Amino acid sequence: MNPPQQSSLAVLRRLAPYARPVRGRLLGSGAAALGAMLAGLGSPLLIQRIVDGPVAHRDRSSLLLLSLGVLALGVVEAGLIYLRRALVARPTTDIEKRMRADLYHHLQHLPVAFHDRWQSGQLLSRAIGDLNTIRRFVAFSGLFLVVNMLTVLVGMGVLLTIAPALGMLAVIMAIPLVVLCGRYERHYRSAARRAKDQVGDLATTVGEAALGIRVLKSFGQGPQATQSFLAQARELRRTELTKVRMLATLWALIIALPELTLAAMLALGGYELATGSLSLGTVIGAVTILTYLRWPLESLGWLLADAGNAAAATSRYWEVRDTAAAVADPPQPRAPAQPIRGGLRLEAVHFRFPGAATDVLRGVDLDVRPGETMALVGATGSGKTTLAALVPRLADVTSGRILIDGVDVRDLALVELRTIVATAFEDPVLFSASVRENVALGAPQASDDDVRGALRIAHAEKFVDALPWGLDTRIGEQGLTLSGGQRQRLALARAVIGGDAGRPAVLVLDDPLSALDVHTEAEVEAALRRVLRGVTALVVAHRPSTVQLADRVALLAGGRIEAVGTHSELLAEVPEYRRILSAVEVAGDLSAVAR
């Protein structure tokens, strides 16, 4: 996943589009921070004036005025620090909010193949942890990295002006400091990137263990899962300790060099004071300036480390954002044919997964007439689910085309297409929301009567009414508080309600009845017979009972449609069809016995 490494500055520049709308407040915050630093830097100059003026000449009249000047600079510094914080809080949280919203929106448009390749923990760590790191950098570290460097430059300039020899000592100290900081920053950023990737892997492991806790417990794999987690945690700990060692070495050098410079400055300043080359006020002012510069100098270590963290976080963020949305709206969407009849036609459809050597589908031709139910039958791995996913454009054909009422699905706006086509998958995915929200996911304008009608069709109304709060009952994550059959019936209800007036023009069912017991399956099939009248349906079928719902059956083998006909015709004429259904029927009987 790691892209070629760019410089931190080049990576962080990519934050500019998000910073631009709030650049006024950010610049104001930076100016306030710089002003506070310069106000603090002005105090040593006034101290020099006090020592060389009123103290040296015992002039009480100007002592009070200069002392009030030091006080005024302190008040100004405090006020500017408050102003900086007030200015920076809102824009940085706004940047984080917009970046997170854009990432989430982009994830919704990326193809299913992308989500199949990426671990959920990696995406989660980018959407939460990395964006928090970026916000902290923009709000504090990045701001002070610039301000502190400017303060050091101004302080060095003042030192060279008031005491050239002492100023040269400070400059000589600064040169190796800059070289060391640059060298360590590159190494630290590499370690920071590695640590963030490991955090994503760890988040994936925790998420998978939480969702699969029943499987882990039932197979007694808790200790093994714990060992795997601990191994990843130890690897992350080693990386974090590497970061600590790097930062400790850098910080030690950053602290040691100014201390050595201060000692040299006191020695040289004392000598020049003894020889009369410098006044006492100048020596005290120079030493005070260097002391004041210790904070900007010492902070460079962790500020650069934070910049490395932010650069790694920004790189990981754009790694996802730069992934092209392979399935996108056409530049000029066409309107669907009116009235929508639901005629579905596949012409020479080929499909190959990204990076695969061969096509899964190799020239599929299929014509589903308006209002017809077509069952799609094939051996395991023949591409039935892939073919079903191409109709609502969860992925796009590699070549060929899919037409609805003569219009290529790629010429329709995605929202329009997915209003016409409703889908129910073999693996029912439900969300931590109410029953109503889950069923009306594809039709948020649906009324309670529409929801209940869909539940009735899916034979789910009775068990929903038995839930503690009926339609308002919130179901747990992934719907794991429900049985497998209940989850699939809710997913089926969601598909049925997905079109206009609760009747989708095209219904794609990827064997949504697989987890139902024999009695419930018969009831749901009877209800489906009613709803399928007048609706074009493509049903991926594994059971003979499901096949018998269809008007015709298509046999998928070798990436092509090998035969199309009624169930009885294929059963009588196609040996491969008989073999597949026989194998499935035996497996279904064994599954029924197990249940």
DSSP 50: H
The domains of the chain, with CATH numbers, are 18-321 (1.20.1560.10), 344-594 (3.40.50.300)
324 confidence band (pLDDT: 50, 70, 90) = confident
pLDDT one-digit tens code per residue, 337-390: 888 888 999 999 999 987 788 999 999 999 999 989 999 999 888 899 899 999
pLDDT one-digit tens code per residue, 566-589: 999 998 999 999 888 876 554 444
DSSP 470: G
The strands making up 560-565's β-sheet, listed across from edge to edge, are 421-424, 506-510, 536-540, 373-378, 552-557, 560-565
Reading the block at residue 416, the tokens are 């329009």
Backbone angles phi, psi at 168, to 5 degrees: -65, -35
**What is the pLDDT of the chain when averaged over all its residues?**
84
Residue type, 291: T
Share of the chain above pLDDT 90, in %: 21
pLDDT one-digit tens code per residue, 412-435: 998 889 888 888 877 778 888 888
- Say which residue the tokens 């899962």 belong to: 225
Burial class (CB in 10 A: 0-12, 13-18, 19+), 216: middle
Reading the block at residue 64, the tokens are 């009070």
- What is the C-alpha to C-alpha distance for residues 532 and 527, in angstroms, rounded to an integer? 9
- Say which residue the tokens 């099939």 belong to: 525
- What is the C-alpha to C-alpha distance for residues 186 and 210, in angstroms, rounded to an integer? 37
Q: What is the pLDDT of residue 237?
A: 93
Closest CA to 379 of 576, 119, 117: 576
- What is the C-alpha to C-alpha distance for residues 438 and 558, in angstroms, rounded to an integer? 37
Separation in Å, CA 523 to CA 175, 486, 497:
81, 13, 18
> Does 7 score more than 90 pLDDT?
no
Residues in Cβ contact with 307 at an 8 Å cutoff, skipping those fewer than 6 apart: 8, 12, 137, 141, 142, 145, 185, 189
The strands making up 344-351's β-sheet, listed across from edge to edge, are 361-368, 344-351, 399-404, 407-408
Closest CA to 313 of 487, 164, 194, 147: 194
Closest CA to 227 of 207, 200, 209: 209
Cβ atoms 376, 388 nearer than 8 A: yes
DSSP 365: E
Cβ atoms 509, 344 nearer than 8 A: no
The residue-averaged pLDDT of 176-187 equals: 76
**CA 507, chain centre distance (Å):** 31
The residue among 404 and 486 whose pLDDT is bigger is 404
> Does 328 score more than 90 pLDDT?
no
Strand blocks (E) in 379-428: 399-404, 407-408, 421-424
Q: What is the pLDDT of residue 186?
A: 73
C-alpha angle 136-140-144 in degrees, rounded to nearest 5: 145
Cβ atoms 334, 417 nearer than 8 A: no
Other residues' Cβ atoms within 10 Å of the Cβ of residue 112? 13
- What is the C-alpha to C-alpha distance for residues 112 and 286, in angstroms, rounded to an integer? 64
Radius of gyration of the chain measured on its C-alpha atoms: 35
Cβ atoms 189, 312 nearer than 8 A: yes
Residue type, 468: P
Residues in Cβ contact with 398 at an 8 Å cutoff, skipping those fewer than 6 apart: 350, 351, 352, 359
Range scoring the smallest mean pLDDT among 58-67, 327-336, 564-573: 58-67
Separation in Å, CA 256 to CA 160, 187, 247, 249, 251:
22, 21, 14, 11, 8
- What is the C-alpha to C-alpha distance for residues 519 and 524, in angstroms, rounded to an integer? 9
Other residues' Cβ atoms within 10 Å of the Cβ of residue 201? 17
pLDDT one-digit tens code per residue, 96-153: 999 999 999 998 888 777 887 888 888 888 888 899 999 989 888 888 888 888 888 8
> Does 547 score more than 90 pLDDT?
no
Closest CA to 489 of 450, 508, 461, 470: 461
- What is the C-alpha to C-alpha distance for residues 78 and 17, in angstroms, rounded to an integer? 32
- Residue 467 host element (H or E): none
Other residues' Cβ atoms within 10 Å of the Cβ of residue 242? 17
pLDDT one-digit tens code per residue, 390-402: 999 988 999 999 9
Largest CA-CA distance found in the chain, in angstroms, rounded: 120
pLDDT one-digit tens code per residue, 275-292: 888 888 888 888 888 888
Other residues' Cβ atoms within 10 Å of the Cβ of residue 535? 20
Q: What is the pLDDT of residue 593?
A: 37
The residue-averaged pLDDT of 307-323 equals: 90
Beta-ladder partners of 506: 421, 536
